[in-house]
């Protein structure tokens, strides 16, 4: 009887160890499947980002080249430049655009905008670009100065109000142009006016820690491509 009992206990222990072994094998398979699934997802994500990056660079290059060809004879007269890396058309002579501390457009700036914006719009509203554009951002920028400001925060908020008002005034004026009226449905879902205060200062080339107050005061027209936004979403990044 004792032999039978020992035999049964031994058989029971064997079954016990076999079931633990099976369970561990199953868990390893589950972990392997999870790891493989994760690697496949990362690989697919990287491929998607790579394709989007290629599309983004190609569209950006084409838009930049068209803008450069269209405005190359005007940029010097306007004291403007086109930045290819960010698809920005930058108007730098703020003293010609606005009176100091004010948001009303000067007549000289209105004339520049009348010349610039219809041609700018003609390029961006082409079928090959229109559906690829996420935003056209009119950005008002200031220096860090504000007379009689008691703190940097106060100067920042005052400049935020000024830069927002200037950007909004530019947009408001552009919408009165005939070309804008014809494309209003697209513009209202695409063009935004953004006050940036001194959140994106420009620094002197020879002194990278010294603010270039004159160049920091500017109005930028910036194109944001949908692929750029999609890359940020996939990679989990915020605004650049």
pLDDT band at 47 (very low <50, low <70, confident <90, very high): confident
Q: In this predicted model, which residue has the larger pLDDT, 190 or 45?
A: 190
Closest CA relative to residue 157, chosen from 189, 205, 199: 199
Coil vs helix vs strand at 93? coil
Q: What is the pLDDT of residues 88-142, one digit of tens each?
A: 999 998 999 999 899 999 999 999 999 999 999 999 999 999 999 999 999 999 9
42-61 burial string, b = 16+ CB within 10 Å, else e? eeeeeeeeeebeebbeebbe
pLDDT band at 45 (very low <50, low <70, confident <90, very high): low
Q: Please report which residue ranges of 72-151 form alpha helices under DSSP H.
A: 75-78, 94-97, 107-124, 127-130
Q: What is the mean pLDDT of residues 13-22?
A: 60
Give yes or no for residue 9 having a pLDDT over 90: no
pLDDT of residue 5: 44
How many CB atoms sit inside 10 A of residue 204's CB?
A: 13
Q: Which long-range contacts (CB under 8 A, 24 or more apart) does 46-51 make?
A: 48/234, 49/231, 49/234, 49/235
Q: Which CATH number belongs to the domain containing residue 114 in this structure?
A: 3.30.1330.60
pLDDT band at 15 (very low <50, low <70, confident <90, very high): low
- Residue 193 falls within a domain, yes or no? yes
- Residue 46 falls within a domain, yes or no? no
How far apart (Å, rounded) are the C-alpha atoms in residues 119 and 105? 20
- Residue 124 falls within a domain, yes or no? yes
CB 123 within 8 Å of CB 70? yes
- Residue 240 falls within a domain, yes or no? no
- Residue 50 falls within a domain, yes or no? no
111-146 burial string, b = 16+ CB within 10 Å, else e? ebbeebbbebbebbbeeebeebbebbbbbbbbbbeb
229 membership: H or E segment, kind and range: helix 226-235
How far apart (Å, rounded) are the C-alpha atoms in residues 177 and 180? 5
Quote the pTM value. Answer: 0.78
Q: What is the pLDDT of residues 144-184, one digit of tens each?
A: 999 889 999 999 999 999 999 999 999 999 999 999 999 99
- Residue 21 falls within a domain, yes or no? no
Domain of residue 200, residue span: 55-235
Q: Per the structure, how many domains does the chain have?
A: 1
Q: DSSP characters for 160-185?
A: HHHHHHHHHHHHHHHTTSHHHHHTHH
- Residue 111 falls within a domain, yes or no? yes
Instruction: Describe the chain by its helix, strand, coil percentages, rounded to 5.
Output: 60, 15, 25
Compute φ and ψ for 186, nearest 5 degrees: -75, -40
- Residue 63 falls within a domain, yes or no? yes
CB 197 within 8 Å of CB 142? yes
How far apart (Å, rounded) are the C-alpha atoms in residues 45 and 222? 27
pLDDT band at 218 (very low <50, low <70, confident <90, very high): very high
């Amino acid at each position: 009887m004792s032999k039978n009992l020992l035999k049964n206990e031994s058989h029971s222990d064997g079954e016990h160890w076999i079931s633990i072994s099976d369970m561990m094998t199953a868990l390893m398979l589950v972990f392997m499947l999870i790891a493989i699934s994760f690697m496949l997802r990362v690989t697919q994500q990287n491929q998607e980002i790579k394709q989007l990056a290629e599309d983004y660079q190609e569209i950006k290059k084409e838009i930049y080249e068209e803008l450069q060809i269209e405005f190359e004879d005007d940029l010097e007269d306007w004291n403007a430049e086109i930045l290819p890396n960010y698809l920005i058309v930058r108007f730098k002579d703020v003293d010609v655009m606005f009176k100091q501390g004010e948001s009303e457009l000067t007549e000289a700036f209105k004339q520049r905008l009348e010349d610039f914006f219809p041609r700018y719009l003609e390029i961006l509203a082409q079928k090959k670009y229109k559906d690829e554009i996420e935003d056209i951002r009119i950005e008002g920028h200031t220096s860090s100065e504000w007379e009689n400001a008691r703190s940097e925060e106060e100067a920042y908020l005052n400049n935020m109000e000024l830069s927002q008002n200037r950007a909004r005034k530019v947009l408001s004026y552009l919408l009165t142009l005939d070309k804008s009226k014809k494309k209003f449905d697209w513009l209202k879902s695409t063009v935004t006016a953004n006050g940036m205060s001194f959140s994106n200062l420009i620094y002197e080339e020879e002194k990278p820690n010294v603010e270039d107050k004159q160049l920091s005061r500017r109005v930028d027209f910036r194109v944001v491509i949908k692929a750029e936004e999609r890359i940020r979403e996939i990679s989990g990044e915020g605004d650049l």
